Amino acid sequence: MIMAKQTVVQIDNQATEILTRNNLSITGGRKRILHLFLEQAGALAHGDIEKKVGEKFDRVTIYRTLQTFVDKGIIHTIPTADNSIRYALCKDECSGGHHHDHHVHFVCTVCHITYCLDDVVTPALKFPKGYTSSHVEVVAEGVCRNCKPQH
C-alpha cells in the first residue's frame, strides 16, 4: 500500500510532538532539522542538512542540534566507508542514551542514499571469551530498489 505524503502541518505537528516528548525546547532550528528527517526516506549527512537549511544556521548550531538529537534517542548515527557519519530518525523504542536500532543500513552505490532497513535485523553475534560488544553496526552496499532497472 502506498502511503500518502504527509502535509507540512502534519510534519510540523510531529516535530513538535517529538521535541515535547523529549523535554526539548521547541525552537525554529530544531523543528526545521526534524522536518528534514521526517520528509526524507534515507539518512542525511551534516553537509546535506547544511545545504537544505540554508544560511540561517551555522555549522556549530547544526552539529549541536544533531548531537542533542542523538543523545535524546531521536536520531542515530550510521558510519560510512569514508569515515563520515550519516544520521537517521530513530524508531519509538529509542531513548536518551539507549538506541535500539538493531537493523541493517543499506547504501545505494547509484544514488548514494543510505536507508535504514528496519525489517532486516542485525544478527546476534557470539564474541570470544573476554570480548563484550556495546554496539554493532551492519552496513550493506548495493543498488536500491529505486535505482535497480525494472525487468
pTM above 0.85, yes or no: no
| 150 found inside a domain | no
| 128 found inside a domain | yes
Nearest to 135 by CA among 118, 122, 116: 122
Residue type, 64: R
Specify the pLDDT at position 65: 94
| 147 found inside a domain | no
| 151 found inside a domain | no
| 14 found inside a domain | yes
Measured CA to CA, the distance from residue 14 to residue 90 in angstroms comes to: 14
Of 34-48, 53-67, 87-101, where does mean pLDDT reach its minimum?
87-101
Domain containing residue 80: CATH number: 1.10.10.10
| 19 found inside a domain | yes
Measured CA to CA, the distance from residue 65 to residue 30 in angstroms comes to: 7
Number of domains within the chain: 1
Judged by DSSP in three states, 147 sits in coil
pLDDT band at 93 (very low <50, low <70, confident <90, very high): low
Range of the domain at 50: 8-142
| 138 found inside a domain | yes
